[in-house]
Chain A
Amino acid sequence: MKTKLYHIAHSRAGDKGNTLMLSLIPFKEEDFPSLVEQVTVQKVKDHLKAIVKGNIIRYEMPNISSLLFVCEEALGGGVTTSLALDPHGKTLNYALLELEVDL
Chain B
Amino acid sequence: MKELKKIRIGAGAGFSGDRLEPAKILAQDGEIDYLVLECLAERTIALAQKRKMVDSSKGYDPLLERRMEILLPIIKEKGIKILSNMGAANPLAAAKKITEIAAKNNLTIKVAAVVGDDVLSLITGNEITLESGQPLNSFGKIISANAYLGADSILPAIASGADIIITGRVADPSLVVAPLMYEFGWSYDDVELIGKATVIGHLMECAGQVTGGYFADGVNKIVPNLEILGHPFVDVSQDGTALLGKVENTGGIISLATVKEQLLYEVLNPFAYLTPDVSADFTTVSLKQIAPNSVQVSGGSGSSKPEKLKVSVGYHAGFMGEGEILYAGAFAMERAKMAGEIIRLRLQEQYPDKLRIDYIGNNSAHSGINQDDSTAYEIRLRVAGMADSPEIAALIGEEVEALYTNGPSGGGGVRKSINEIIGIQSILISRNSINPSFSIFES
Contact = CB atoms under 8 A, between A and B. Distances in A.
B366 A95 contact: yes
B366 A63 contact: no
B260 A23 contact: yes
B173 to A, nearest CB: 14
A99 B266 CA distance: 21
B4 interface: no
Most buried by A among B265, B271, B320: B265
B220 interface: yes
Interface string A49-67: 1110000000101011010
B426 A12 contact: no
B283 A80 contact: no
Given A78-B131, A80-B421, A59 B299 contact: no
Contacts of A84: 356, 358, 364-365
Contacts, number: 127
Interface stretch (B175-183, B237-245, B382-390): B382-390
How many A residues touch the partner, as a band?
A: 35 or more
Contacts of A68: 264, 267, 270
B366 A91 contact: yes
Contact of A21 (B268, B285, B358, B385): B268
Given A63-B286, A80-B317, 19 more contacts: A10-B221, A12-B264, A14-B265, A16-B266, A25-B264, A47-B369, A50-B367, A51-B367, A61-B264, A61-B282, A61-B283, A64-B260, A79-B43, A81-B421, A83-B385, A84-B365, A85-B364, A85-B365, A92-B365
Interface of A: 6-7, 10-12, 14-19, 21, 23, 25, 27, 47-51, 59, 61, 63-64, 66, 68, 70, 78-81, 83-86, 91-92, 94-95, 98
Interface of B: 42-43, 130-131, 214-215, 217, 220-221, 256-257, 260-271, 282-287, 299, 317, 320, 354, 356, 358, 360, 364-369, 382, 384-386, 421-424, 426
